[in-house]
Amino acid sequence: ADQLSLLLDSAALFPLPNGLSFSYGTSGFRSDGSVLGSTVHRAGIVAALRSLKTGSTVGLVITASHNPVCDNGVKIADPDGSMMDQSWEPFANALANAPDPNSLAQLVLQFAKDEEITLGAGQSAEVLLARDTRPTGETLLEAAKQGISSIIGAVAIDLGILTTPELHWMVRCWNNGTKATESDYFAQLSNSFRNLMELAPNENLNLDTVEKKLIVDGANGVGGSKLEEIKKNIIGLEIDVRNTGKEGEGLLNEGCGADFVQKEKFAPCGFSLSDLGIRCASLDGDADRLVFFCLIPNSNNKIELVDGDKILSLFAIFIQEQLSLLEELPARLGVVQTAYANGAATDYLRNLGLEVIFTPTGVKYLHEKALEYDIGLYFEANGHGTILFSKEFLSQLDSVNRELSSKLPGSKKQKAALRLVAVTQLINQAVGDALSGLLLVEAILHNKGWSFQKWCDLYQDLPSRQLKVKVADRTAILTADAETRVVKPAALQELIDTETAKYTHGRCFVRPSGTEDVVRIYAEAATQDSADSLANSVAQHVN
């Protein structure tokens, strides 16, 4: 068949649902899983074209992350494992909303022409596919496959059920020509974890047995069972996984998971006072977010939370420490946060002498900024983040490491270099990864001989409050300066300023959600009562 009729036939099988429109938001298309057939089919077409354009393998993952089990979504990963280049989003949007097969086909042909992609001329394209555990995932994955095969020469490779970060990692490795299967991923994590654990300075090995234990809330999603695989090859850490999504354990993301824990500040279901004193962690449904917590005695399941900001701080301290031992390895270290970062965290990081910058919410924005440094650390408060190392830095580290292992084997310096090497292997440089992040946290605490409490006490979070307000049109609100200021309607920012000025350490911002039809409000102040009342009064002005 020729390209045009292939597209027409395939599109006819996946009509756009009446009255719905879709948009490639912060993290791809999201909606109720039952209406996403046409969207995912079309995302398959976009992915195939993206592979043709880049001449490399790309990825497509079907997930709605921390959202309810009935939701689903789809996003595309570029050849380096990062989110699809933003310049392609308008096309993805147009295609998702094309009313009929004919207009869809015309859009594809025109776009291919504009992008100088030759269709049907013998080139090949390759898309790696994965999905999370949602019940609508299987059918949607089939739709993606059909979309991909409606582009001549494009091949879909179904990798089954994976965490989102696994898929991103595999795309990256595939294109780098390094080992890219799931067992390679597991092996890389457990090997580099072991290496880093073994590099702990002897004087810090004073942890008692309780500290070797970690309980993990898998959000009843895809991460729990993967962690159970990884933990088989791990020593020095006892991991107990709960909410793994197995029969009888509860619903995906319901009353559990990193999003719930971070926003509600309550222990997830399946945790109780018998877990008092034990370090706990929580993943989200597709395992790209991670937070830690500990139960508070006599508090009705309230928790002490360690969010993304504090994970970031731990990573930053550790890397800074190793670098300070290696004056022959100069590196520009940068930290990227969003407006949701707790003010106390930002102060803490700046006091360490670190360069801290802000971007709008959404991994693609943080990731892009972090790439500008030799070592770029980024985290959202919600627990999504990672560390990126530039190619130049990695090759310098490699040569410093080689030099030290021949001239000063066993020295403090050599160990510092080896620790950095282990970090570069343990952390997922494609995207934030709860499993790799969790192991890195554990290995760093072990290296530093730190208890959970010591980590908590790095700084005291300022009390904060998040609210959401349903509005007629959230796009009526326009923000600037990494979403910290409203520019339209102008009067709203003046009101926010007036309210904020009433509170000690007051800070407040308002932004339209990139994933839901709501406007979000964040307020922070010296006490919980004042954070609550600041958020509430601003919320009233948003309506």
Interacting residues toward ligand 16G by CB under 6 A? 26-27, 65, 361-363, 380, 382, 384, 513-516, 520
Instruction: Give long-range contacts, CB 8 A cutoff, 24+ apart: 474-480.
Output: 474/512, 474/513, 474/517, 474/518, 474/519, 475/512, 477/510, 477/511, 477/512, 477/519, 477/542, 479/360, 479/509, 479/510, 479/511, 479/512
Q: Check the annotation: does 288 bind a ligand.
A: yes
Q: Which residue's CB comes closest to Zn ion?
A: 65
The nearest distance, CB 27 to Zn ion, in angstroms, is: 8
Q: With 0-12 CB in 10 A as exposed, 13-18 as middle and 19+ as buried, what is 157?
A: middle
Q: Which is nearer to ligand 16G, 133 or 337 (CB)?
A: 337
Q: Which is nearer to ligand 16G, 257 or 362 (CB)?
A: 362
27 binds, options Zn ion, ligand 16G, none, Cβ within 5 to 8 A by partner type: ligand 16G
379's CB contacts (< 8 A; 6+ apart) are 308, 309, 311, 312, 336, 337, 341, 366, 385, 432
- 428 touches Zn ion (CB under 5 A): no
Q: Which is nearer to ligand 16G, 149 or 337 (CB)?
A: 337
Q: Check the annotation: does 515 bind a ligand.
A: yes
Q: Check the annotation: does 398 bind a ligand.
A: no
Q: Check the annotation: does 72 bind a ligand.
A: no
Q: What share of the chain is helix, strand, coil (3-state, %, to 5)?
A: 45, 20, 35
**Alpha helices, DSSP H only, in 265-340?**
308-324
Q: Which is nearer to ligand 16G, 185 or 509 (CB)?
A: 509
Q: Which is nearer to Zn ion, 60 or 492 (CB)?
A: 60
Q: Check the annotation: does 511 bind a ligand.
A: yes
Which 3 state secondary structure label does DSSP give 493?
A: helix
Q: Check the annotation: does 182 bind a ligand.
A: no
Instruction: List 468's β-bridge partners, or say none.
Output: 520
- 262 and 274 Cβ atoms separated by less than 8 Å: no
The nearest distance, CB 520 to ligand 16G, in angstroms, is: 5
Size of the site for Zn ion (CB under 5 A): 4
Burial 363-394 (b: 16+ CB within 10 A, else e): bbbbbbbbeebbbbbbbbbbbbbbbbbbeebe
**Alpha helices, DSSP H only, in 269-352?**
308-324, 343-351
65 is known as an active-site residue: yes
Judged by CB under 5 A, the residue of 3, 51, 57, 65 near Zn ion is 65
Q: How many CB atoms lie within 10 A of CB 261?
A: 29
The nearest distance, CB 542 to ligand 16G, in angstroms, is: 14
Q: Which is nearer to Zn ion, 112 or 222 (CB)?
A: 222
Q: Check the annotation: does 380 bind a ligand.
A: yes
Instruction: For residue 255, give both structure tokens.
Output: 């009353």
Q: Check the annotation: does 381 bind a ligand.
A: yes
Amino acid at 343: G
166 binds, options ligand 16G, Zn ion, none, Cβ within 5 to 8 A by partner type: none
Q: Which helix (H) or strand (E) holds 73?
A: strand 71-77
Burial 136-147 (b: 16+ CB within 10 A, else e): bbeebbbbbbbb
Q: Which of residues 388-427 bind Zn ion (CB under 5 A)?
A: none
The nearest distance, CB 64 to ligand 16G, in angstroms, is: 9
385 binds, options ligand 16G, Zn ion, none, Cβ within 5 to 8 A by partner type: none
Compute the distance between CA of residue 94 and CA of residue 97 in angstroms, rounded to an integer: 5
38 binds, options Zn ion, ligand 16G, none, Cβ within 5 to 8 A by partner type: none
286 binds, options Zn ion, ligand 16G, none, Cβ within 5 to 8 A by partner type: Zn ion
- 83 and 363 Cβ atoms separated by less than 8 Å: yes
Instruction: For residue 277, give both structure tokens.
Output: 């004193």
Q: Any idea of the CA torsion for 218, 192, 314, 415, to the nearest 10 degrees?
A: 160
The nearest distance, CB 67 to Zn ion, in angstroms, is: 9
Which 3 state secondary structure label does DSSP give 76?
A: strand
Q: How many CB atoms lie within 10 A of CB 470?
A: 11
- 148 and 108 Cβ atoms separated by less than 8 Å: no
The nearest distance, CB 340 to ligand 16G, in angstroms, is: 8
Q: Which is nearer to Zn ion, 49 or 439 (CB)?
A: 439
Point out the catalytic residue in the list 65, 82, 436, 464.
65
Q: Check the annotation: does 264 bind a ligand.
A: no
Nearest CA to 527 among 465, 479, 483? 465
67 binds, options Zn ion, ligand 16G, none, Cβ within 5 to 8 A by partner type: none
Compute the distance between CA of residue 487 and CA of residue 473 in angstroms, rounded to an integer: 16
284 binds, options ligand 16G, Zn ion, none, Cβ within 5 to 8 A by partner type: Zn ion
175 binds, options ligand 16G, Zn ion, none, Cβ within 5 to 8 A by partner type: none
Contact string 254-293 vs Zn ion (x = CB under 5 A): ------------------------------x-x-x-----
Q: Check the annotation: does 142 bind a ligand.
A: no
Q: Which is nearer to ligand 16G, 211 or 284 (CB)?
A: 284
The nearest distance, CB 284 to ligand 16G, in angstroms, is: 9
Residues at the binding site for Mg(2+) are 65, 284, 286, 288
Residues at the binding site are 65, 284, 286, 288, 380-382, 511-515, 520
Q: Which residues form the catalytic set?
A: 65
Binding site for Zn ion (CB under 5 A): 65, 284, 286, 288
